[in-house]
């Protein structure tokens, strides 16, 4: 008798980018990613509970991802069983998409998942409403409470885009395409007659621009009423978990210029009531999810490390801020991710470590003061900051890094090697979480802030100094995870570790650029440059200033013979002998020679390569050596020594590209044209980083 095929469910919850990337601050970014993962986990756990009668374990029901050892899944499951979770996970480790074997599960399995997600989302939304809007605030909306509640219910009830497909297992992996085909049938926002997404009417949310802000008052003609609504909301209180005291929302939680929709407000206020809603405080006592460090603070971490380890007295800046008699100067820096002392200078808002930030902080926080008082405060803060900078030898960097990583062709690999991918990604997620361990700063060598680590996706914020090293370390861990996961048979029909590659993007962004804009560029660099343009298995790096991308560079990860990524990092850390003028002069003088390097027709109509001689690596080797000898103090160097000194520049100038060859295989080649921006990226990092300060800021484990 033939055994009937298993019944499969493919399930996805979205929108992803519309929920996560619409973020003004780090807390928004974390809240969006965590909530999406938590809601997806609710659907998975509900399905596993529905399958208990079948006697199957969680990993027998949830085929992908692996959930049996996932801490977020386990915590949700323990709570649903009436137990207190053993751990307090804060990382969204579960993807928004999963595959399940729903054979013999009674009822509609998709509806079981949908209902669990709807119940959890509704419970969260109701908690935010009841805690902050119900009693006093909602009645100030246009049309009173009933109209505000109508906006709330419309947005909350229609936000999530859930898609699912069920069917018999085709046993050939083709079911992996079911969801993609299903998702082609729909658009998240209703379309108008021209096929464009419709936007809600009224004054729109400052964070999620397609949705109406909650008060319902128009900005034109109703500004005063609108302002009363949001001012009263800022007066509402919450229990601050770390201190155990009640605090007002104030403009630290909702900025003076922020008028939000229901979805954005839920993301913003969720961390304040997280324990009541989800049953545990994410991160426990080791992480304050209410006060995430700002990007201006993250940019300053290497500089602060130097101050701490050199024993420089930074109290003068703290005292100057304290003298303004305001609480806001401690901003969003209570979390202890970086191993810095929990007092004085290290508690300050990150803006106070930058001259432009000080000016902005005074403007925003001392509005009620007189001009003389504001000027006095500005002078006191800048004087204190300059005094500390004089002792360190340089200012804090204004640039931080967003690191985004994504496995290559996971969908295809999952069809071909489902068990290997499942096990490999579970191992990788655990490795990433450990690398950014918030409990022990020595286990966070990159001084990073992990936002998300689920499956093959990683999103983290880091200081400029450690971003490339973190990317290389995680790429290596990805390879290690699949070496452990791949079964022993490595013939052509089996999974081979070399087939499991990962791409990444690093955006070095000035802290004053809106976070949502940087995230958008990060996605673009990853998808369009690292994956599409460079053939995957690559790292794309870009420097983003207020005017846009200043320069960018991309290369495949280092091979045994070629090390462009390592060379770039080496110049950034160790090669202060290269002046800025050296790099810019090279580009100005020689880049035009490469501008016409492309195939042309000669007078006989034959294809020829224009300016082919300038693509010769030997040519650039000589050019770089000759230019290096022109630098002050280098004139007596031999030509061979100059070539050795500029060897890293040759490596950077010929980054690696992955190209497809016949039979569906790939090879990695050096670029056939010299890339000038790579050296400028390295020089930028060298100028902005703290590598050249008197004290080495690396941990002992790194130095070993």
Instruction: Tell me the per-residue pLDDT of 123-148, one tens digit each, with 9 for 90 and over.
Output: 999 999 999 999 999 999 999 999 99
The percentage of residues in the chain with a pLDDT greater than 70, rounded to a whole number, is: 88
CA pair distance 527, 691, nearest whole angstrom: 31
d(CA 195, CA 192): 5
Q: How does residue 222 score in pLDDT terms, banded at 50, 70 and 90?
A: very high
How many helices (H) and strands (E) would you count in the chain? Answer: 26, 16
* DSSP notation for 276-303: HHHSS-TTGGG--SSSPPPHHHHHHHHH
Reported in sequence order, the residue ranges of 136-182 that DSSP labels E, i.e. its strands, are 161-168
Q: Say yes or no to pLDDT of 468 above 90.
A: yes
pLDDT greater than 90 at residue 88: yes
* pLDDT bucket at 315, cuts 50 / 70 / 90: confident
Chain centroid to Cα 585, Å, comes to 34
pLDDT at 492: 47
Q: Could you tell me how far CA 499 lies from the centroid of its own chain?
A: 25
Q: Tell me: pLDDT of 202 over 70.
A: yes
Q: What is the mean pLDDT of residues 442-449?
A: 86
Q: What is the pTM of this model?
A: 0.91
CA dist 261 and 148 (Å) reads 10
Looking at the predicted structure, is the pLDDT value of residue 600 above 60?
Answer: no
Task: State residue 437's pLDDT score.
Answer: 84
User: With b meaning 16 or more CB within 10 Å and e meaning fewer, what string describes 403-438?
Assistant: bbbbbbebeebbbbbeebbbbbbbbbbbbbbebbeb
| pLDDT > 80? residue 191 | no
Least confident of 98-112, 539-553, 682-696: 682-696
Residue 248 has pLDDT above 80, yes or no: yes
Count CB neighbours of 610 within 10 A: 13
Mean pLDDT of all residues in the chain? 87
Q: Does the pLDDT at position 535 exceed 60?
A: yes
pLDDT of residue 330: 66
Closest CA to 266 of 161, 152, 117: 152
Q: What is the rounded CA–CA span in Å between residue 27 and residue 267?
A: 9
Joined together, the tokens standing for residue 234 give 């800022």
Most confident of 98-107, 342-351, 586-595, 694-703: 98-107
pLDDT at 611: 44
Please give the domain boundaries of the chain with CATH numbers for all domains: 7-285 (3.30.70.2220), 295-392 (no CATH), 402-557 (3.30.70.270), 558-688 (no CATH)
For residue 594, the model assigns a pLDDT of 66
Mean pLDDT of 628-635: 89
Please report the pLDDT score of residue 353 as a whole number.
Answer: 95
pLDDT grade, residue 471 (50/70/90)?
Answer: very high
Q: Which residue has the higher pLDDT, 116 or 411?
A: 116
pLDDT value, residue 699: 38
Residue 695: the pLDDT is 47
b/e sequence 329-338, b meaning 16+ C-beta within 10 Å? bbbbbbbbbb
pLDDT of residue 603: 45
Alpha-carbon distance of 420 to 431, in angstroms, equals: 16
Residue 681 CA to residue 569 CA, distance in Å, equals 10
The pLDDT of residue 175: 85
Spatial CA neighbour of 26 closest among 544, 519, 439: 519
For residues 259 and 262, give the distance between their C-alpha atoms in angstroms, rounded to a whole number.
10
**Dihedral sign for Cα atoms in the order 658, 660, 666, 668:** negative
| pLDDT tens profile 32-85 | 999 999 999 999 999 999 998 888 999 999 999 999 999 999 999 999 999 999
pLDDT at residue 684 tops 90: yes
Which helix H or strand E contains 64, and what residues bound it? strand 62-64
pLDDT of residue 556: 96
* pLDDT > 80? residue 612: no
């Amino acid at each position: 008798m033939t055994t009937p095929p298993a019944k499969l469910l493919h399930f996805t919850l979205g929108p992803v980018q519309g929920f996560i990337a619409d973020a003004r601050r780090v807390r928004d970014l974390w809240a969006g990613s965590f909530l999406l993962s938590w809601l997806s986990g609710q659907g998975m756990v509900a399905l596993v509970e529905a399958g208990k009668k079948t006697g199957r374990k969680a990993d027998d029901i949830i085929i992908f991802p692996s959930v049996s050892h996932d801490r977020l899944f386990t915590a949700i499951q323990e709570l649903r069983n009436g137990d207190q979770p053993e751990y307090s996970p804060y990382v969204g480790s579960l993807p928004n998409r999963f595959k399940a074997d729903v054979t013999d599960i009674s009822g509609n399995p998709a509806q079981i998942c949908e209902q669990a997600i709807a119940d959890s989302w509704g419970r969260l939304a109701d908690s935010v409403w009841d805690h902050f809007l119900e009693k006093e605030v909602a009645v100030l909306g246009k049309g009173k409470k009933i109209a505000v509640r109508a906006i709330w219910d419309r947005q909350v009830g229609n936000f999530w885009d859930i898609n699912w497909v069920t069917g018999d297992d085709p046993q050939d992996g083709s079911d992996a395409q079911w969801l993609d085909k299903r998702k082609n049938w729909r658009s998240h926002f209703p379309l108008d007659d021209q096929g464009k997404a419709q936007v809600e009417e009224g004054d729109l949310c400052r964070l999620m621009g397609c949705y109406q802000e909650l008060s319902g008052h128009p900005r034109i003609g109703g500004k005063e009423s609108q302002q009363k609504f949001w001012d009263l909301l800022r007066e509402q209180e919450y229990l601050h978990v770390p201190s155990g005291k009640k605090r007002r929302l104030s403009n630290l939680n909702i900025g003076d210029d922020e008028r939000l929709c229901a979805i954005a407000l839920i993301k913003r206020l969720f961390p304040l009531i997280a324990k009541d809603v989800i049953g545990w405080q994410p991160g426990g006592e080791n992480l304050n999810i209410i006060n995430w460090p700002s990007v201006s603070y993250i940019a300053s971490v290497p500089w602060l490390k130097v101050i701490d380890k050199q024993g420089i007295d930074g109290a003068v800046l703290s005292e100057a801020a304290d003298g303004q008699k305001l609480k806001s100067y401690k901003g969003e820096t209570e979390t202890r991710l970086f191993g810095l002392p929990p007092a004085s200078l290290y508690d300050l808002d990150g803006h106070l470590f930058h001259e432009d930030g000080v000016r902005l902080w005074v403007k925003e926080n001392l509005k009620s003061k007189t001009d003389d008082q504001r000027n006095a405060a500005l002078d006191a803060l800048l004087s204190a900051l300059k005094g500390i900078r004089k002792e360190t030898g340089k200012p804090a960097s204004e640039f931080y890094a967003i690191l985004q990583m994504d496995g290559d062709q996971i969908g295809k690999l999952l069809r071909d090697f489902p068990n290997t991918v499942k096990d490999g990604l579970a191992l990788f997620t655990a490795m990433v979480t450990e690398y950014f361990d918030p409990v022990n700063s020595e286990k966070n060598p990159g001084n990073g802030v992990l936002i998300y680590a689920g499956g093959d996706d990683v999103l983290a914020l880091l200081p400029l100094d450690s971003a490339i090293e973190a990317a290389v370390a995680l790429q290596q861990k990805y390879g290690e995870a699949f070496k452990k996961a791949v079964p022993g048979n490595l013939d052509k029909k089996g999974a081979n570790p070399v087939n499991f590659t990962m791409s990444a993007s690093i955006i070095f962004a000035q802290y004053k650029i809106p976070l949502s804009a940087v995230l958008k560029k990060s996605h673009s660099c990853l998808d369009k440059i690292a994956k599409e343009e460079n053939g995957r298995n690559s790292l794309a790096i870009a420097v983003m200033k207020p005017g846009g991308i200043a320069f960018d560079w991309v290369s495949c990860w280092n091979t045994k013979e070629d090390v462009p990524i390592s060379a770039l990092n080496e110049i950034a850390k160790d090669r202060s002998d290269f002046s800025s003028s050296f790099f810019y002069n090279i580009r100005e003088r020689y880049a035009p020679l490469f501008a016409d390097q492309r195939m042309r027709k000669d007078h006989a109509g034959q294809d020829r390569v224009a300016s082919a001689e300038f693509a010769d690596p030997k040519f650039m080797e000589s050019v770089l050596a000759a230019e290096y000898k022109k630098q002050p103090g280098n004139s007596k160097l031999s030509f061979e020594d100059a070539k050795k000194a500029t060897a890293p520049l040759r490596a950077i100038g010929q980054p690696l590209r992955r190209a497809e060859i016949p039979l569906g295989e790939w090879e990695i080649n050096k670029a056939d044209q010299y890339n000038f921006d790579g050296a400028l990226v390295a020089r930028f990092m060298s100028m902005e980083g703290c590598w050249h300060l008197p004290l080495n800021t690396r941990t002992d484990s790194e130095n070993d």
